[in-house]
Structure 1
């Protein structure tokens, strides 16, 4: 589906903003428990949780569609690499260029091993390194870019979708396989999380694999079932009401992997005047997501603003950098996918 016929660029933008809100409470030391959505939902849902869940639902849907459209496995993987790594590389380089101006370590920066490993480890995705010793040591959170931890989960799911190339012309088999994977993941998430939640695979933790991966796989399943053909305002409305009921009755964790994807994708495909044309400005969501955290840490380092000023200034700067990243880096990189 062409981008200007849906609301997904706007939703991704909104989800990136949601992550900033929660991070503002956590990074400032005010405390995530005081974040507005987290408080009113009795700690069942935070803005960042909603944002990440939405990101993974949308990604699961459209990455599967990308797999369907790709000429071959190489074409698919090239598109995924071009979407993730150019923007990531630039934010890592810029972060390393700023570090000398805010470094407060006792040893020379040039002899600080964590400075030299920060770029390669994070670019590898699976060696996530949040901290450079001597940088932001006095902040509640010392990580330079704590948002990057999710990218390895996302990219791993891209690789998992690539396995469908083995059977991609057998639609019924794909639906069956995705259903089986989802059922196993949901069983482990709801009935065996104590046993597998702390397990690690390539630096990825079981609870996040099951939680974020669950949203991704539901998005994929809905793509295989051609969700946009049977989506409706009624379905979105009923699903949204059920979410509110489940939050009120304190069992949102039980329903979220089913209901949230229906609402997110449902809203995404319902024509909304003004919002549907949001894509004409570009897709800044990834840039907002990867730049917001270091911007917030720098604001705390230099200004120490009040929470409301912190949120608004973080959003404003992250949006600017997000669009710069899209137009100067990401968009140009994606143009290479057809070459």
Structure 2
């Protein structure tokens, strides 16, 4: 009973102290996208340097942010299924969310940026099947194509016009996992089965061994590295578990900071370092969900400025490659220029692409079931049936 009273007091305090969790998630996604831009500013200029931190630290803020991204997705996408457990509406919502901004950025990259920066002549560029394949393959996600003919060929990082897209197939795999789990009852009556899924993912992740410097063993699913997919899948399933056990697992800021501290300690103690990979998704994932639920209410007034994180993430690398193409070879200058430009692209994507396509969800609302008028009867069973009709129980 004491726990129930504490939970009730927490709910009463939240409206005064904290913003809605959706606001917290939006802010954290924007911060995470910014961290990825910062990280990419180094290998794009110097491919031998993968992170802003010294290589000897074996830490990547961008990789930590991606783990948080996947846990937040697991949490929020599970919430979407629980609120409306219709498989076809669920799929339609996911398509409307991820594909329109993706199609815009890959077509702009291939049809606008490509012709401007390719080392090939115009006729050769447009005749090359890889130009059109870039759009087709990336729209299909799993057969990702990173190269455009001659595009950014003279940049220090010529291997991808938009390397950020590599995580999107893993995200859609998480969407499929939620769909399967929902249809199998793992998000409702058999939710305990999620722990078995999580345990299997953790074991498999240990076998495949993906890190921010190594995409892991296990080969590829088309163009998607299986090891990395499993590593991010662990974080995604953590989000699913946190959502389905939200009434059991406390969202403690102290515990979140303790997990991050544990990750740092394990990472820097040599004989503990092999365990760091297992602590990472829990530290990043639990922390992201906790901080989203404890976001300061005073920041909610800036909501309209923080919902462009997806657009920022998928536009950032073409923007950075263009800046490098223009002659910038200093990572910090690149970072300073790319952050505001990528943010602006994200806002434009949100306003011009994502909001209009999200409005189409109005056609995906479940139909309200008609309420039949049932005359109350004098019997106990009759009165009970009448009460259920009125309340929808």
Instruction: Check if 1:256 corresponds to 2:280.
Output: yes
CA distance in 2, matches of 1:126, 1:287: 20
Cα–Cα, structure 1 residues 312 and 274, in superposed 2: closer, same or farther, change >3 Å?
farther
Shift of 1:92: 1.3
CA distance in 2, matches of 1:288, 1:87: 10
Cα–Cα, structure 1 residues 36 and 274, in superposed 2: closer, same or farther, change >3 Å?
farther
Question: Higher helix proportion, which one?
Answer: 1
Shift of 1:277: 4.2
Q: Deviations over 1:193-226 (max 9, x none)?
A: 49x8233234322211211111101111111111
Instruction: Check if 1:5 corresponds to 2:25.
Output: no
Cα–Cα, structure 1 residues 308 and 217, in superposed 2: closer, same or farther, change >3 Å?
same
Instruction: Check if 1:322 corresponds to 2:322.
Output: no
Mean CA deviation greater in 229-238 or 151-160:
229-238
**2:135 — aligned with what?**
119
Shift of 1:170: 6.5
**2:171 — aligned with what?**
154
Instruction: Check if 1:279 corresponds to 2:299.
Output: no
Q: Which runs of 5+ in 2 are unaligned?
A: 1-13, 211-215, 364-393
**1:270 — aligned with what?**
294
Shift of 1:156: 1.4
Shift of 1:21: 1.0
CA distance in 2, matches of 1:125, 1:216: 18
Please identify runs of 4+ aligned residues in structure 1 that moved more than 6 A. none
CA distance in 1, matches of 2:264, 2:132: 47
**2:77 — aligned with what?**
63
CA distance in 1, matches of 2:248, 2:307: 21
Instruction: Check if 1:199 corresponds to 2:214.
Output: no
CA distance in 1, matches of 2:223, 2:305: 36
> 1:87-166 to 2 correspondence within 5 Å?
87-95=101-109, 96-105=111-120, 108-142=124-158, 143-166=160-183
Instruction: Check if 1:24 corresponds to 2:41.
Output: yes
Shift of 1:298: 0.5
**1:239 — aligned with what?**
259
Q: Which runs of 5+ in 1 are unaligned?
A: none
Q: Is contact 2:71–2:236 with CA below 8 Å preserved after alignment? A: yes
Cα–Cα, structure 1 residues 173 and 209, in superposed 2: closer, same or farther, change >3 Å?
same
Match of 1:47 among 61, 65, 68: 61
Cα–Cα, structure 1 residues 260 and 299, in superposed 2: closer, same or farther, change >3 Å?
same
Query: TM-score, normalization: structure 1?
Result: 0.91
Query: TM-score, normalization: structure 2?
Result: 0.79
Shift of 1:243: 2.3
Q: Tell me how large the CA RMSD over aligned residues is.
A: 2.4
Q: Deviations over 1:262-282 (max 9, x none)?
A: 211111111424344442324
Q: Deviations over 1:142-184 (max 9, x none)?
A: 21111111111101110121112324486241331x2111111
Number of aligned residues: 334
Higher relative contact order (CA 8 A, sep 6+): 1
CA distance in 2, matches of 1:113, 1:157: 31
CA distance in 1, matches of 2:169, 2:304: 29
**1:80 — aligned with what?**
94
**1:173 — aligned with what?**
190
CA distance in 2, matches of 1:71, 1:53: 26
**1:293 — aligned with what?**
317
**1:187 — aligned with what?**
203
Shift of 1:261: 1.5
Q: Deviations over 1:261-311 (max 9, x none)?
A: 221111111142434444232411100000000000111111324221100
**Secondary structure in 2 matching 1:25:** coil
CA distance in 2, matches of 1:135, 1:170: 45
